[in-house]
Structure formats: structure tokens, C-alpha cells
Amino acid sequence: MQVTVNVDCTPEEARSFLGLPDLSPVHEKYVASLLGAMDGAGSLEQMEKMMRAFAPMGDAGMRLFQQMMDIGLSGAAAATGGKGKG
């Protein structure tokens, strides 16, 4: 026997229902510091260096993100038969 329950609620309601902390202030501070640092970046190299510093897990996180993007893009290209390039 299988029972399915659908709950229609906002992320805030779900977080409070599950007893999880509200990290909105932390997120806002992180985004504000990232935007402040981006204002000082003048070149693409500086921007990449800054993004690596702010990324979770540093360089390892950036490499993982790049690998996921490569896999997703290659999968999308295969699904369209390689069309869309060019």
C-alpha cells in the first residue's frame, strides 16, 4: 500500500514546520559581500579569482560546478542531435 501526501506551503512555512533555522539574514549578508566585491573586479581574471574565493568548497566546488555544467551541456547537445551550435 502506498500513500501520497501533497502539502502546499511556502518555503518559509516548510522550514518552520520542520524546525529548520531561517538563514535569510546570512544569505543576504553573503550576497551583499559578493556584490560589493564584484564592484571592485575590473577584469575577467579578477572576477574568476573572486568567485573561486566565495564559492563553497573553494576551487574544488568550482571544478565540480564546471563538470556538472559540462555534463549538462553535453547531454543537452546529445538530446538535440548536436544542433544549436554555431
Do 55 and 65 contact (CB within 8 A), yes or no? Answer: yes
In this structure, the number of other CB atoms found within 10 A of the CB of residue 71 comes to 10
pTM over 0.85: no
Confidence of residue 65 (pLDDT cuts 50, 70, 90): confident
Residues in CB range of 85: below 8 A, 6 or more apart: 77
pLDDT digit string (tens) for 6-55?
989 998 898 888 899 988 898 899 888 878 777 776 677 777 777 777 67
Domain boundaries, the chain: 11-78
30 Cβ contact partners less than 8 Å away, ≥ 6 residues apart: 54
Query: How many angstroms separate the CA atoms of 38 and 71, rounded?
Result: 28
CA 4 vs. chain centroid, Å, equals 29
